[in-house]
Amino acid sequence: GAGVSQSPSNKVTEKGKDVELRCDPISGHTALYWYRQRLGQGLEFLIYFQGNSAPDKSGLPSDRFSAERTGESVSTLTIQRTQQEDSAVYLCASSRGNRGNEQFFGPGTRLTVL
Amino acid sequence: RKEVEQDPGPFNVPEGATVAFNCTYSNSASQSFFWYRQDCRKEPKLLMSVYSSGNEDGRFTAQLNRASQYISLLIRDSKLSDSATYLCVVSSGRDKFYFGSGTKLNVKP
């Protein structure tokens, strides 16, 4: 079946602009995660959605970052007033949401802020 | 203290060698454990889950030591294609996953 998809695959923007990144999880996966990975660094947790529960936003680095998810489908990550330090690959992952189920990652969106 | 810690490496080994990575975790209540593989400029992909009794998948063996709070990955008969970054992942059981920074492996001909 289809895996996790993300769009766009690459995004170049100017400092101060807003960007919106999209993630389509695997059908039936109730849990969805956003991570950030800077060049040569590990994964940095941003936000987690599980079904209709309130999202875990504990990893969002500032109030310029927000994310939404409608039900158990598409999620969007929005970064307002982008800064150069926002340049990174933004990875989305989904899982079945049952304890211990592994995550499946999308190919990521490579964001470059000039 | 980080939730999950790994030696960043790199581990440079010749083809055919056996190499082992360890990963320590801080939360004794952690429930699930995984090893992921990440190739350069690619997304992480699940290599194997780690079970309490230890498990093996071909040339790869994973073990869990709850008492000392570490997991290990052993790769036998290394191939050039094993060159990648190996990520240790631990879950508290509430679907919150903690990723290590990864251990880089270079397998040389």
pLDDT value at residue A51? 84
pLDDT at B96: 77
Whether B95 sits inside 8 A of A95 (CB atoms) is: yes
Listed residue (B98, B37, B6) closest to A43, CA to CA = B98
- The CA distances from residue A105 to A68, A102, B21, B22, B71, in Å, are 18, 10, 23, 23, 22
Cβ distance of A43 and B32 shorter than 8 Å: no
CA distance B86 to chain A (A): 11
CB A103 to CB B49 under 8 A?
no
pLDDT greater than 60 at residue A1:
no
Structure tokens at B101: 């920074």
Ramachandran sector of residue B3 (left: φ over 0; alpha: ψ -120 to 50; beta: rest):
alpha
Each residue's pLDDT tens digit, A53-92: 889 999 999 999 999 998 888 999 999 999 999 999 999 9
pLDDT digits (tens, 9 = 90+) for B2-14: 889 999 999 999 9
Task: Pick the residue from chain B with its C-alpha nearest to A39.
Answer: B41
Show the DSSP H helices in B1-109 as ranges: none
The candidate with the shortest Cα–Cα distance to A89, out of A114, A64, A106, is: A106
Binary contact (A91, B87; C-beta < 8 A): no
Residues 50-89 of B with CB under 8 A from A: 87, 89
CB contact B2 to A (< 8 Å): no
Q: Measured at the alpha carbon of residue B9, what is the angle toward residues A4 and B6, in degrees to the nearest 5?
A: 65
